[in-house]
Amino acid sequence: MPKAKRNTYRVFMNVSNTSTKEWEIFGKDIEDLSREMNNEVSSFTNILGEVEVDITKGAQVTSVEPIKYRDESKISKILYDIYKNDKELSEVEYEFCEVNTTQEILGSNDTPTGTYEAFVQIGAIDLKSWGGDTTGLNSPIDINWKGEKTFGTFDPTTKTFTAES
């Protein structure tokens, strides 16, 4: 069975300031983009000599570094606005969409639809620093995930998310 390539799992950010969604993809300059689960794991050996394990959900975080400032990127402009205006609390909450392009949705007669499994979730952006070295202006962030995921499909051609009904 072939391994899935990293570029088949994509993360988009809603960069629109209107009710119409506008999804911009993360990826330029980034070599690693992983959601850390930070689960709590506790284990003990019971009186029968058996190991019991409990796992509870932790605070999930995605570290994004580097994010080089690019004039054409609306994500860059949002990060600059967070930096310039010292934004905090709900001012740094944005909508993100994760898309798994290895999971194409099939229509009638198992015909590919060009849409893929996806979900949308709110993330609070923690801007780690602003500046960088001689390789370019950098603005690394942590996305702190909050709330429930809304499942649905994503069409990469139209950049449209459709929630499950």
Domain coordinates of the chain in residue numbers? Answer: 8-36+60-163
Element at 83 (helix H, strand E): helix 74-84
Question: How far apart, in whole angstroms, are the C-alpha atoms of residue 120 and residue 102?
Answer: 17
Pick the CATH number of 8-36+60-163 from 3.40.630, 3.40.50, 2.30.110, 1.10.760: 2.30.110
pLDDT in tens, the chain (165 residues): 788 888 899 999 999 999 999 999 998 888 889 999 999 999 999 999 999 999 999 999 999 998 999 999 999 999 999 999 999 999 999 999 999 999 999 998 999 999 999 999 999 999 999 998 998 999 999 999 999 999 999 999 999 999 998
Q: What is the dihedral of CA 25, 26, 27, 33, to 10 degrees?
A: -130
CA distances from 151 to 49, 100, 161, 164, 165 (A): 42, 12, 9, 6, 9
